[in-house]
Structure 1
Amino acid sequence: MNYRFLTALALTPALIAAAPGDLGLVQTHLQAVQSMTANFTQTDRTGKVLTGVLTLKKPGKIRFQYEKGVPILIVGDGKALWFLDYSVGQKQRWPIGNSPLGVLLNPTRDISQIARVIPGGDPRIISVEANDPKHPEYGRITLIFARTASAPGGLMLQGWVALDAQNNRTSIRLGNQRFNAPVSDSTFRFNDPQRKSAAR
C-alpha cells in the first residue's frame, strides 16, 4: 500500500475528477468505524521518523503509543487531546473538537461542512482535506483512503497529513489496520508527567 499512500501525498494535478459521492463514502466509513488499531509511522517536518501503535475508540478517544525509548505520549480521553512529554515533565491540552483529528473521533459530525475531496491521479485513492475556515489556528488535515471492499464502508484509512497553524507538516502512515474490535476505556488513561516531575 505504500506506493498508493505516496501517490496520494504528492497531491498531483487533477487528472481524475472526484466522484460526486466520494465525500459521502468517507462519511459512511467514518460512521461505520467505532474502534481501530493500527501500526503507524510518523514523519515530522524535519524528516524525523517515529513508529508506534495507534488505538482509536469513538467518541473522542485516541492513543499514539510510541516505540520504546520515546518519552512522548498523545492521548485523547474523550474530553481533550493531551500531548505528554515525560522527559521534561510537561503536558499540553487541546479540546478534541479543536484538533484536526476531531474528524476521525466524532461519529456524528457532518464533515461536508469542513471537508472536501481533492482530485487526484489514482481512482483507487480518495483524499479528503478538512479544516475549519472560521478557525485557521486549528490547522488542517488531509485524510487518505484506499478503496477496499472488505473495510468498513468500502474504504481503508491509509494515513493523513496534518498542517498546524505554523504550517508545520506531520505525516502518518498506517499499517495492519483492524476495525471494530472491543477496546477498553483504560487504554486511554495516562500518568501525569507533571506529578512525576514534582516528585523528583
Structure 2
Amino acid sequence: MTAAYFTRAPALALAALLALGPSAEAAGRSRVAGVLPPPRPASLGRDLDVAATGSIVPIAKARAAGAPVVPAAASDKLTDRQIVEKANAALNSVTSMVADFTQVGGDGRRLTGILYLQRPGKLRFEYEKPSTLEVVSDGSTVLVRDRKLNTSDPYPISQTPLKFLLSSKIDLSRDARVTAVATDQEGVRISIEDSSTLGGTSKITLYFDPEITTLKRWRVIDPQGYTTTVSLSDIEKNRTIDPRIFMLNYMRPVE
C-alpha cells in the first residue's frame, strides 16, 4: 500500500499502506505515466558492464578502455522462479522490523518517519511533522488517521496491498500476480499486481539487495495511476516491539 486522495476515493487510500500518499496539503499530485521500467534481460549483467559514466559498455570494450568491470550479482545466475522463492524466504524470515522510511509521491513531495512491523498483520507508519498522518494496523483492521482533518478511517487488511507483506506465510506468486523479475548491479526488483484491493488493481514493485536478503524499497501505482515510493534505511530486523504501538486509537486530537 493524500488526504485529497482519501476524499476522492476513500477505499483507494489503502494503497497507502505500502506507500501512503502525502496528506491534505498535497492535493494536486501529478500522474506518472510509464513508471514500471522494462525488465532487464537476465544475461545483461553477465555480458555488459556499467562504466563510470553510467553508460552500458560491453565487457571487452570496458576492459580495453580501462573502465571498471562490475561483477555480476549472484541473482543473475538464478531463474525468475528461484529469485521469487528467495524473496519469499527473505520476507518470511522477518517477524518484526523497525526502520526509518522516506516516502516520495508522484509530485516529488518527501515525507519521513518510522515504520514498525510485526507479522502477522501489525504495522505502524509514524510520520514526522509537518505530516499529520498516522497509519496503524492491529492485525485485522487498518486505521488511517489525519490529526489535522480530525478523521479516522478504518479498512479491512484483507482488501489492502498490505496483506501479502503482513501475512503469516508470504508467497508472492500465490498472493499476487508476478509480472516481472529483473536484476542489475544494484539488486533485484519484483513487480506484482494485486487485483483484489479496493478500487481496482494495484501495481507494486519490490526492490531487494543483490543477495535478496533485505527489502530495501517499494513502489506502488494505485488504481488511478498515482505513484508513491518508500525507501527504508537503518533497518532492524526481528526486534522486540511494544505491542501498544499497534493499538488502534480512534480519538481525533487536533495538533
TM-score, scaled to structure 1: 0.81
- Counterpart-to-counterpart distance in 1, 2:173 and 2:202: 17
Partner of 2:209: 146
Q: Which runs of 4+ in 1 moved over 4 A?
A: none
Partner letter of residue 125 of structure 1? Answer: G
What code does the residue aligned with 2:129 have?
K
With 116-125 and 174-183 compared, the bigger mean Cα shift is at 116-125
How do 1:28-177 residues align onto structure 2 when only pairs under 5 Å count?
Answer: 28-113=89-174, 114-116=176-178, 118-122=180-184, 125-133=187-195, 137-148=200-211, 155-177=213-235
State the partner residue of 2:31. Answer: none
SS at match of 1:116: strand
Aligned-partner Cα distance in 2 for 1:147–1:129: 16
- Segment drifting more, 41-50 vs 11-20: 11-20
Aligned to 1:6: none
Per-residue deviation, residues 53-74 of structure 1 (Å, max 9, x unmatched): 1110011111111113321101
Q: Which has the larger radius of gyration?
A: 2
Q: Which amino acid aligns with 2:228?
A: T
Cα deviations across residues 112-149 of structure 1 (Å, max 9, x unaligned)?
A: 1214263435055221223234557152321111134x
Alignment partners' CA distance in 2, 1:169 and 1:51? 17
* Whole-angstrom CA distance in 1 between matches of 2:178 and 2:206: 10
Match of 2:7 in 1: none
One-letter amino acid of the structure 1 residue matched with residue 193 of structure 2: N
**Distance in 1 between residues matched to 2:128 and 2:166, nearest whole Å:** 23
Gaps of 5+ in 1: 1-8, 149-153
- Give the residue type in structure 1 aligned to 2:210: R
> Which has the higher mean CA deviation after the structures are superposed, 167-176 or 100-109?
100-109
Residue pair 1:99, 1:138 contacting (<8 A) in 2 also: no
Which amino acid in structure 1 is aligned with residue 237 of structure 2? F
| Secondary structure in structure 2 of the residue aligned to 1:29 | helix
1:79 is displaced (CA, Å) by: 0.8
Separation of aligned partners in 2, 1:45 and 1:191: 29
- 2:107 counterpart letter in structure 1: T
Cα RMSD after superposing both structures: 2.3
Instruction: Quickly say closer, same or farther: Cα 1:121–1:57, change in 2 above 3 A.
Output: closer
Is the CA contact (8 Å cut-off) linking 2:159 and 2:196 kept in structure 1? Answer: no
1:181 equivalenced with 2:239 (yes/no)? yes
TM-score by length of 2: 0.65
The residue aligned with 1:16 is 42
Q: CA deviation at 1:193?
A: 4.0
**Mapped contact 2:133–2:145 kept (Cα < 8 A):** yes
Q: Single out whichever of 44-53 and 184-193 deviates more from structure 2.
A: 184-193
Contact 1:118 1:128 in 2 (8 A): yes
* One-letter code aligned to 1:122: D
Q: Which secondary structure state, in structure 1, belongs to the residue aligned with residue 241 of structure 2?
A: coil
